[in-house]
Protein backbone atom coordinates (compact mmCIF):
# COMPACT_ATOMS: atom_id res chain seq x y z
CA UNK A 1 0.00 0.00 0.00
CA UNK A 2 1.10 3.51 -0.73
CA UNK A 3 1.10 6.02 2.10
CA UNK A 4 -1.86 7.97 0.72
CA UNK A 5 -5.07 7.03 -1.02
CA UNK A 6 -5.52 9.88 -3.48
CA UNK A 7 -6.94 8.08 -6.49
CA UNK A 8 -7.91 4.59 -7.51
CA UNK A 9 -4.69 4.23 -9.48
CA UNK A 10 -2.82 4.27 -6.16
CA UNK A 11 -4.06 0.70 -5.69
CA UNK A 12 -2.68 -2.14 -7.73
CA UNK A 13 -4.62 -5.35 -7.92
CA UNK A 14 -3.12 -6.90 -4.81
CA UNK A 15 -3.57 -3.71 -2.77
CA UNK A 16 -7.18 -3.36 -3.86
CA UNK A 17 -7.86 -6.99 -3.08
CA UNK A 18 -6.19 -6.58 0.30
CA UNK A 19 -8.53 -3.69 1.11
CA UNK A 20 -11.59 -5.68 0.12
CA UNK A 21 -10.45 -8.79 2.00
CA UNK A 22 -9.62 -6.75 5.07
CA UNK A 23 -13.01 -5.08 4.94
CA UNK A 24 -14.67 -8.47 4.72
CA UNK A 25 -12.73 -9.72 7.75
CA UNK A 26 -13.59 -6.63 9.72
CA UNK A 27 -17.23 -6.98 8.82
CA UNK A 28 -17.20 -10.64 9.83
CA UNK A 29 -15.34 -9.91 13.04
CA UNK A 30 -17.84 -7.26 14.08
CA UNK A 31 -21.02 -8.99 12.97
CA UNK A 32 -23.27 -9.82 15.90
CA UNK A 33 -20.95 -8.29 18.46
CA UNK A 34 -22.15 -6.08 21.20
CA UNK A 35 -18.94 -4.09 21.28
CA UNK A 36 -18.48 -2.81 17.73
CA UNK A 37 -15.14 -1.31 18.50
CA UNK A 38 -11.57 -2.36 17.92
CA UNK A 39 -8.55 -0.89 19.69
CA UNK A 40 -6.41 -0.90 16.55
CA UNK A 41 -5.87 2.83 16.08
CA UNK A 42 -5.95 3.86 19.73
CA UNK A 43 -3.97 7.03 20.16
CA UNK A 44 -4.11 7.91 16.47
CA UNK A 45 -5.84 11.06 15.31
CA UNK A 46 -7.88 11.22 12.14
CA UNK A 47 -9.06 14.59 10.86
CA UNK A 48 -12.08 14.82 8.61
CA UNK A 49 -11.38 17.96 6.61
CA UNK A 50 -14.53 18.70 4.67
CA UNK A 51 -14.72 21.68 2.34
CA UNK A 52 -17.97 20.41 0.89
CA UNK A 53 -21.11 19.40 2.63
CA UNK A 54 -21.30 15.64 2.54
CA UNK A 55 -22.91 14.34 5.67
CA UNK A 56 -23.02 10.72 4.55
CA UNK A 57 -19.38 10.46 3.57
CA UNK A 58 -18.22 12.31 6.66
CA UNK A 59 -20.29 10.15 8.98
CA UNK A 60 -19.06 7.02 7.26
CA UNK A 61 -15.42 8.02 7.75
CA UNK A 62 -16.12 9.19 11.28
CA UNK A 63 -17.74 5.90 12.22
CA UNK A 64 -14.93 3.94 10.59
CA UNK A 65 -12.27 5.83 12.52
CA UNK A 66 -14.16 5.62 15.80
CA UNK A 67 -14.73 1.89 15.47
CA UNK A 68 -10.98 1.56 15.21
CA UNK A 69 -10.63 3.68 18.37
CA UNK A 70 -8.93 6.58 16.62
CA UNK A 71 -9.56 10.09 17.90
CA UNK A 72 -11.63 11.92 15.32
CA UNK A 73 -11.71 15.62 14.65
CA UNK A 74 -14.27 17.00 12.26
CA UNK A 75 -13.10 20.17 10.58
CA UNK A 76 -15.80 21.60 8.41
CA UNK A 77 -14.55 24.37 6.21
CA UNK A 78 -17.73 24.43 4.21
CA UNK A 79 -18.75 27.82 3.00
CA UNK A 80 -15.47 29.44 3.95
CA UNK A 81 -14.35 31.04 0.74
CA UNK A 82 -10.86 29.90 0.02
CA UNK A 83 -9.84 33.32 -1.18
CA UNK A 84 -11.00 34.97 2.02
CA UNK A 85 -10.39 32.27 4.59
CA UNK A 86 -7.32 30.40 5.70
CA UNK A 87 -5.52 28.72 2.84
CA UNK A 88 -5.64 24.97 2.45
CA UNK A 89 -1.93 24.81 3.14
CA UNK A 90 -2.17 26.81 6.35
CA UNK A 91 -5.06 24.66 7.49
CA UNK A 92 -3.13 21.50 6.70
CA UNK A 93 -0.04 22.64 8.59
CA UNK A 94 -2.17 23.67 11.54
CA UNK A 95 -3.86 20.29 11.70
CA UNK A 96 -0.56 18.54 11.46
CA UNK A 97 0.91 20.66 14.21
CA UNK A 98 -1.98 19.48 16.36
CA UNK A 99 -0.83 15.92 15.79
CA UNK A 100 -3.07 14.50 13.11
CA UNK A 101 -1.92 11.16 11.74
CA UNK A 102 -4.29 11.13 8.81
CA UNK A 103 -6.40 13.68 7.01
CA UNK A 104 -9.54 12.63 5.21
CA UNK A 105 -10.30 15.42 2.78
CA UNK A 106 -13.38 16.30 0.76
CA UNK A 107 -12.83 19.29 -1.49
CA UNK A 108 -14.52 20.95 -4.41
CA UNK A 109 -11.26 21.44 -6.28
CA UNK A 110 -9.83 18.54 -8.24
CA UNK A 111 -6.34 17.71 -7.02
CA UNK A 112 -6.63 19.31 -3.58
CA UNK A 113 -5.78 15.98 -1.86
CA UNK A 114 -2.65 15.66 -4.02
CA UNK A 115 -1.50 19.08 -2.93
CA UNK A 116 -2.32 18.33 0.68
CA UNK A 117 -0.24 15.16 0.48
CA UNK A 118 2.74 17.25 -0.63
CA UNK A 119 2.46 19.47 2.43
CA UNK A 120 1.88 17.06 5.31
CA UNK A 121 3.77 14.11 6.73
CA UNK A 122 0.72 12.03 7.64
CA UNK A 123 -1.48 10.00 5.36
CA UNK A 124 -4.08 11.67 3.16
CA UNK A 125 -7.30 9.95 2.13
CA UNK A 126 -9.28 11.47 -0.71
CA UNK A 127 -12.96 11.54 0.23
CA UNK A 128 -13.91 13.14 -3.07
CA UNK A 129 -12.17 15.96 -4.93
CA UNK A 130 -14.01 18.10 -7.43
CA UNK A 131 -14.68 16.17 -10.59
CA UNK A 132 -11.61 14.01 -10.13
CA UNK A 133 -11.90 10.95 -7.90
CA UNK A 134 -13.59 9.37 -4.92
CA UNK A 135 -11.58 6.20 -4.39
CA UNK A 136 -13.25 4.88 -1.24
CA UNK A 137 -16.61 5.05 -3.02
CA UNK A 138 -15.17 2.86 -5.75
CA UNK A 139 -13.80 0.47 -3.15
CA UNK A 140 -17.15 0.13 -1.44
CA UNK A 141 -18.82 -0.34 -4.79
CA UNK A 142 -16.36 -3.08 -5.71
CA UNK A 143 -16.88 -4.63 -2.28
CA UNK A 144 -20.64 -4.59 -2.77
CA UNK A 145 -20.41 -6.15 -6.22
CA UNK A 146 -18.13 -8.88 -4.95
CA UNK A 147 -20.37 -9.55 -1.98
CA UNK A 148 -23.46 -9.83 -4.17
CA UNK A 149 -22.05 -11.59 -7.23
CA UNK A 150 -19.16 -13.44 -5.61
CA UNK A 151 -16.56 -12.14 -8.03
CA UNK A 152 -15.25 -9.11 -9.89
CA UNK A 153 -13.26 -10.73 -12.66
CA UNK A 154 -15.25 -10.51 -15.87
CA UNK A 155 -18.23 -8.81 -14.24
CA UNK A 156 -19.85 -6.42 -16.70
CA UNK A 157 -20.61 -3.08 -15.11
CA UNK A 158 -22.62 -0.34 -16.79
CA UNK A 159 -21.95 3.10 -15.30
CA UNK A 160 -24.74 5.40 -16.40
CA UNK A 161 -25.04 9.16 -16.14
CA UNK A 162 -22.99 12.31 -15.79
CA UNK A 163 -19.57 10.80 -16.41
CA UNK A 164 -18.10 14.21 -17.26
CA UNK A 165 -18.60 15.63 -13.78
CA UNK A 166 -18.45 12.38 -11.80
CA UNK A 167 -15.59 11.55 -9.48
CA UNK A 168 -17.38 8.30 -8.71
CA UNK A 169 -17.21 7.28 -12.36
CA UNK A 170 -13.50 8.10 -12.66
CA UNK A 171 -12.60 6.07 -9.58
CA UNK A 172 -14.83 3.17 -10.52
CA UNK A 173 -13.51 2.92 -14.06
CA UNK A 174 -9.96 2.71 -12.79
CA UNK A 175 -10.56 0.41 -9.83
CA UNK A 176 -12.96 -1.97 -11.54
CA UNK A 177 -10.55 -2.27 -14.44
CA UNK A 178 -7.75 -3.03 -11.98
CA UNK A 179 -9.89 -5.76 -10.45
CA UNK A 180 -10.75 -7.36 -13.78
CA UNK A 181 -14.28 -6.11 -14.33
CA UNK A 182 -15.46 -4.80 -17.71
CA UNK A 183 -16.89 -1.30 -17.54
CA UNK A 184 -19.21 0.30 -20.07
CA UNK A 185 -19.96 3.97 -19.62
CA UNK A 186 -23.37 5.14 -20.77
CA UNK A 187 -24.38 8.78 -21.13
CA UNK A 188 -25.46 11.34 -23.67
CA UNK A 189 -22.34 12.46 -25.61
CA UNK A 190 -22.40 15.83 -23.86
CA UNK A 191 -21.77 14.17 -20.50
CA UNK A 192 -18.57 12.40 -21.51
CA UNK A 193 -15.25 14.21 -21.19
CA UNK A 194 -13.22 14.75 -24.32
CA UNK A 195 -10.53 12.13 -23.90
CA UNK A 196 -12.78 9.42 -22.44
CA UNK A 197 -11.50 7.20 -25.22
CA UNK A 198 -8.25 6.85 -23.32
CA UNK A 199 -10.02 5.27 -20.34
CA UNK A 200 -10.09 1.51 -19.85
CA UNK A 201 -13.83 1.35 -20.53
CA UNK A 202 -16.29 1.02 -23.35
CA UNK A 203 -18.41 4.03 -24.24
CA UNK A 204 -22.05 3.86 -25.29
CA UNK A 205 -24.83 6.37 -25.88
CA UNK A 206 -27.53 3.70 -25.83
CA UNK A 207 -28.66 2.45 -22.43
CA UNK A 208 -31.14 -0.05 -23.85
CA UNK A 209 -28.40 -1.76 -25.85
CA UNK A 210 -26.16 -2.10 -22.79
CA UNK A 211 -28.61 -3.23 -20.11
CA UNK A 212 -29.29 -6.82 -21.26
CA UNK A 213 -25.57 -7.63 -21.00
CA UNK A 214 -24.93 -5.90 -17.70
CA UNK A 215 -24.33 -7.73 -14.42
CA UNK A 216 -24.24 -4.43 -12.57
CA UNK A 217 -25.95 -1.14 -13.38
CA UNK A 218 -24.45 1.76 -11.52
CA UNK A 219 -26.54 4.91 -11.81
CA UNK A 220 -24.80 8.25 -11.28
CA UNK A 221 -26.45 11.29 -9.82
CA UNK A 222 -27.41 13.82 -12.48
CA UNK A 223 -27.75 17.32 -11.23
CA UNK A 224 -30.61 19.31 -12.60
CA UNK A 225 -28.42 22.36 -13.13
CA UNK A 226 -26.65 20.52 -15.95
CA UNK A 227 -29.82 21.11 -17.89
CA UNK A 228 -29.42 24.86 -17.80
CA UNK A 229 -25.95 24.47 -19.34
CA UNK A 230 -27.50 22.56 -22.24
CA UNK A 231 -25.92 19.22 -21.47
CA UNK A 232 -29.38 17.82 -22.20
CA UNK A 233 -32.64 19.46 -23.13
CA UNK A 234 -34.85 18.59 -20.18
CA UNK A 235 -35.09 16.36 -17.14
CA UNK A 236 -37.89 14.49 -18.83
CA UNK A 237 -35.85 13.74 -21.92
CA UNK A 238 -32.88 12.68 -19.83
CA UNK A 239 -35.02 10.40 -17.75
CA UNK A 240 -36.62 8.88 -20.83
CA UNK A 241 -33.32 8.17 -22.54
CA UNK A 242 -31.01 7.41 -19.61
CA UNK A 243 -33.16 6.86 -16.52
CA UNK A 244 -33.51 3.42 -14.97
CA UNK A 245 -37.18 2.59 -14.57
CA UNK A 246 -39.08 -0.64 -14.03
CA UNK A 247 -39.39 -1.28 -17.75
CA UNK A 248 -35.64 -1.11 -18.25
CA UNK A 249 -34.97 -3.06 -15.06
CA UNK A 250 -37.05 -5.90 -16.47
CA UNK A 251 -34.52 -6.59 -19.22
CA UNK A 252 -31.70 -7.14 -16.73
CA UNK A 253 -30.38 -10.63 -16.09
CA UNK A 254 -31.73 -12.54 -13.10
CA UNK A 255 -28.79 -11.82 -10.82
CA UNK A 256 -28.05 -8.30 -12.02
CA UNK A 257 -27.87 -5.61 -9.37
CA UNK A 258 -28.59 -1.89 -9.36
CA UNK A 259 -26.25 0.50 -7.57
CA UNK A 260 -26.28 4.19 -6.81
CA UNK A 261 -23.67 6.15 -4.84
CA UNK A 262 -26.31 8.48 -3.47
CA UNK A 263 -27.84 10.86 -2.96
CA UNK A 264 -30.46 9.80 -5.50
CA UNK A 265 -32.67 11.95 -7.66
CA UNK A 266 -35.67 9.66 -7.63
CA UNK A 267 -37.58 10.08 -10.84
CA UNK A 268 -34.57 11.52 -12.65
CA UNK A 269 -31.85 8.93 -13.13
CA UNK A 270 -33.59 6.22 -11.11
CA UNK A 271 -37.26 5.40 -10.54
CA UNK A 272 -38.43 4.92 -6.97
CA UNK A 273 -39.55 1.34 -7.55
CA UNK A 274 -36.10 0.51 -8.93
CA UNK A 275 -34.30 2.12 -6.02
CA UNK A 276 -36.41 0.12 -3.58
CA UNK A 277 -36.29 -3.20 -5.45
CA UNK A 278 -34.45 -6.33 -4.30
CA UNK A 279 -31.86 -5.70 -7.00
CA UNK A 280 -30.95 -2.43 -5.38
CA UNK A 281 -27.80 -2.45 -3.23
CA UNK A 282 -28.12 1.14 -2.20
CA UNK A 283 -28.51 0.47 1.52
CA UNK A 284 -25.79 -2.21 1.49
CA UNK A 285 -23.44 0.25 -0.16
CA UNK A 286 -23.83 2.59 2.79
CA UNK A 287 -23.17 -0.18 5.30
CA UNK A 288 -20.23 -1.52 3.31
CA UNK A 289 -18.77 1.96 3.19
CA UNK A 290 -17.95 1.83 6.89
CA UNK A 291 -16.17 -1.54 6.65
CA UNK A 292 -14.21 -0.48 3.59
CA UNK A 293 -13.15 2.79 5.18
CA UNK A 294 -12.11 0.95 8.34
CA UNK A 295 -9.97 -1.29 6.15
CA UNK A 296 -8.41 1.73 4.40
CA UNK A 297 -7.66 3.51 7.67
CA UNK A 298 -6.23 0.35 9.19
CA UNK A 299 -4.03 -0.37 6.19
CA UNK A 300 -2.78 3.23 5.91
CA UNK A 301 -2.36 3.93 9.61
CA UNK A 302 -1.95 0.57 11.29
CA UNK A 303 1.45 -0.25 10.03
CA UNK A 304 4.93 1.02 10.16
CA UNK A 305 6.02 3.49 7.53
CA UNK A 306 7.67 1.35 4.89
Q: Which residues are part of the catalytic machinery? A: 56-57, 84, 106, 134
Give the range of 109-117, 145-153, 208-216, 237-245 binding other proteins by CB under 8 A. 109-117
Nearest-angstrom CA–CA distance, 136 and 61: 10
Nearest-angstrom CA–CA distance, 44 and 101: 6
Single out the residue of 79, 154, 250, 306 in contact with other proteins (rule: CB under 8 A): 306
Q: How far is the CB of 52 from other proteins (least distance, A)?
A: 12
Per CB under 8 A, which of residues 64..83 are in contact with other proteins? 68, 82-83
| 177 makes contact with other proteins (CB under 8 A) | no
Give the range of 15-23, 153-161, 240-248, 279-287 binding other proteins by CB under 8 A. 15-23
Single out the residue of 61, 143, 242, 298 in contact with other proteins (rule: CB under 8 A): 298
Pick 112 or 271: Cβ nearer other proteins: 112
In the 3-class helix/strand/coil scheme, how is the chain assigned residue by residue? CCCCECCHHHCCHHHHHHHHHHHHHHHHHHCCCCCCCCCCCCCCEEEEEECCCCHHHHHHHHHHHHHCCCEEEEEECCCCCCCCCCCHHHHHHHHHHCCCCEEEEEECCCCHHHHHHHHCCCEEEEEEECCCECHHHHHHHHHHHHHHHCCCCCCEEEEECCCCCCHHHHHHHHHHHHCCCEEEEECCHHHCCCCHHHCCCEEECCHHHHHHHCCEEEECCCCCHHHHCCCCCCHHHHHHHHCECHHHHCCCCCCCEEECCCCCCECCCECHHHHCCCCECHHHHHHHHHHHHHHHHHHHHCCCCC
Q: How far is the CB of 218 from other proteins (least distance, A)?
A: 18
Neighbours of 54 (CB within 10 A): 18
Single out the residue of 13, 56, 78, 89 in contact with other proteins (rule: CB under 8 A): 89
Give the range of 14-22, 55-63, 71-79, 263-271 binding other proteins by CB under 8 A. 14-22
Pick 200 or 212: Cβ nearer other proteins: 200
Binding map of other proteins across residues 28-47, x = CB under 8 A, - = no contact: xx---x-x-xxxx-------
Per CB under 8 A, which of residues 188..247 are in contact with other proteins? 193-199
Single out the residue of 264, 286, 287, 299 in contact with other proteins (rule: CB under 8 A): 299
- Give residues in contact with other proteins (CB under 8 A): 1, 18, 21-22, 25-26, 28-29, 33, 35, 37-40, 68, 82-83, 87-89, 107-112, 114-115, 118, 129-133, 167, 170, 193-199, 298-299, 302-304, 306
Amino acid sequence: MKKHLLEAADLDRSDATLVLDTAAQIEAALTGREVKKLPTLRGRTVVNLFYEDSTRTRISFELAAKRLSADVINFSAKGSSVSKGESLKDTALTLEAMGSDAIVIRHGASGAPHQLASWVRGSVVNAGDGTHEHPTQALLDAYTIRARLGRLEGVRVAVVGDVLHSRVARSNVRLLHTLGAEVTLVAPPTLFPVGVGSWPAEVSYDLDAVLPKADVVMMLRVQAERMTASFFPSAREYSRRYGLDARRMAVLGDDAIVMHPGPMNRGMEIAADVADSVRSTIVEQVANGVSVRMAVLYLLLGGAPS
